[in-house]
């Protein structure tokens, strides 16, 4: 599955899949390539990723003089540590930009069978539109239909007529389904999140697609859901936004 990840990331970072297996850091000019995950219609001004060894950076050419020196003498994974991010932030500020949060991303390592048995309901494609605009589900589904990364599957756990939680997946690139999870406050710490994510992860795999999961550095509740559902850390990325 890592080879498939390298293919996907190579489209987004305008490099070759084998660049992720090298020891030296790689710098490329950002480009819009068909088949990438689409979170913005614009080219990256700055974006950096590591799969645990080197770092691959794609950026606007105006940043290349700085970045060439910045990545030359640092280990790839260390570029994501705060002391090394500070000079990068300072440089981005000169262009009216600031760093965004780091995204810690997971791929499945093994199949896990659910340990709970809550009643569930499944929804697919157009059936999901009924949940748009519901503020209870900011992570499981998009806020509206997004053709560039459509929501494909939703599974909810039920307590009678009440929704305990929802897991959903959006197809962020062809065959790549990103899972999100929301659990209602009164049903937390009952294994609902792990149960739904495990069910959805298994369903996606059975359909022949690749499930993936993302969270922030400090959200250990979300990390534990990922780990307990059979995911393992696979890559980290960070980008920028307008200051």
Kindly report, residue by residue over 61-92, the tens digit of the pLDDT: 999 999 999 999 899 999 999 999 999 999 99
pTM of the model: 0.94
**12 plus 80 within the same structural domain:** yes
In a domain, 133, yes or no: yes
Q: Do residue 78 and residue 121 come from a single domain?
A: no
Residues 45 and 123 in one domain: no
Q: How confident is the model at residue 116 (pLDDT cuts 50, 70, 90)?
A: confident
Asked if 164 and 114 sit in the same domain, the reply is: yes
Would you place residue 1 in the very low, low, confident or very high pLDDT band (cuts 50, 70, 90)?
Answer: confident
205 and 116 in a common domain: yes
One domain, residues 120 and 14: no
Reported confidence tier of residue 115, pLDDT bands at 50, 70, 90: confident
* Residue 60: domain span: 2-95
What total number of domains does the chain contain?
2
Mean local confidence (pLDDT), 35-41: 93
Are 87 and 114 members of one domain?
no
- The token pair at 78 is 């260390």
230 pLDDT above the threshold of 90: yes
The answer to the question of residue 33 being in a domain is: yes
- What number is the average pLDDT over the span 97-125? 95
Q: What percent of the chain has pLDDT over 70?
A: 100
Residue 243 lies in a domain: no
Residue 238 in domain: no
Between CA 230 and CA 194 the distance in angstroms is 10
Q: What is the mean pLDDT of residues 208-225?
A: 95
* 36/70 same-domain check: yes
């Amino acid at each position: 599955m890592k080879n498939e990840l390298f293919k996907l990331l190579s489209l987004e970072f305008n490099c070759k899949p084998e660049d992720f297996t090298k020891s030296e850091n790689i710098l490329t000019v950002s480009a819009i390539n068909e088949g990438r995950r689409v979170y913005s219609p614009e080219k990256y001004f700055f974006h950096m990723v590591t799969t645990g060894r080197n770092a691959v950076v794609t950026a606007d050419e105006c940043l290349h003089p700085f970045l060439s020196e910045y990545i030359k003498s640092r280990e790839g994974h260390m570029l994501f540590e705060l002391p090394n991010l500070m000079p990068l932030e300072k440089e981005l500020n000169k262009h009216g930009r600031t760093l965004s949060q780091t995204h810690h991303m997971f791929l499945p390592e093994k199949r896990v069978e659910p340990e709970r048995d809550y009643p569930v309901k499944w929804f697919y494609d157009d059936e999901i539109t009924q949940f748009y605009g519901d503020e209870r589900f900011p992570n499981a589904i998009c806020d509206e239909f997004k053709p560039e990364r459509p929501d494909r599957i939703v599974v909810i756990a039920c307590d009678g007529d009440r929704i305990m939680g929802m897991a959903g997946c959006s197809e962020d690139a062809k065959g790549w389904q990103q899972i999100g999870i929301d659990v209602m406050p009164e049903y937390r710490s009952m294994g609902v999140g792990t149960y739904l994510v495990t069910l959805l992860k298994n369903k996606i795999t059975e359909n022949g697609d690749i499930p993936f999961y993302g969270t922030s550095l400090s959200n250990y509740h979300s990390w534990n859901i990922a780990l307990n559902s059979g995911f393992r850390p696979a890559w980290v990325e960070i980008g920028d936004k307008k200051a």
